[in-house]
A and B are shown apart, each in its own frame.
Chain A
Amino acid sequence: MLPLSLLKTAQGHPMLVELKNGETYNGHLVNCDTWMNIHLREVICTSKDGDRFWRMPECYIRGNTIKYLRVPDEVIDKVQEDTKSRSDRKPPGVGRGRGRGREDTSSKAKGIGRGMEDGGGRGGGRGRGGVSGGRAGGSRGGGRG
């Protein structure tokens, strides 16, 4: 699965974005592109130290300033359906030889078993809202400061 497919699937979901400068942005993903540039709505920005906050209705973040993105757990399950239906429609061999990589991974019996287990655990154990996730990120930044 491609990271950018997961990101695209996360459209409409809350997420936390940490930038290379240590600032974090919590908001709902409106859109993204192949450079990982992202457009967020209803944003809370937290300073590197986690001690200052700004609210903004929307913001646009250039992809190359991003360190990582934290997306809700359930989004990963939605991607798989997406890529499956898309690859069904496409003839094999189209699209820069990506097909081969997918073949390799899907042929791993080991991986499939683990995936099922993990899926169950995730559903039962962990639920978290976008905002509380954001707080955790912010305070962690402060601790490491």
Chain B
Amino acid sequence: MLFFSYFKDLVGREVTVELKNDLAIRGTLHSVDQYLNIKLENTRVVDQDKYPHMLSVRNCFIRGSVVRYVQLPPEGVDVELLHDATRREARGG
């Protein structure tokens, strides 16, 4: 649940999602669900010349299972808060 909550907190921010097929998509985080499926808006593929496959897509749903990394905005990371939430979750709270 921690990462679900964490991603919900990032809704509205710009993120880059790198997939397990090496495709990297940048866009505004629109929503996330319990499986960490991600919806992005105003998407653009990072290397569009190499990957023109999504040129006519502006909004997309990315299945959580194919996500390799999510690159976050530095200002979206509150390390103290994450530490605290992690300890709570580890305690079963």
- Tell me if chains A and B make direct contact, with any CB pair below 8 A: no
Which A residues have a C-beta under 8 Å from some C-beta of B? Answer: none
Which B residues have a C-beta under 8 Å from some C-beta of A? Answer: none
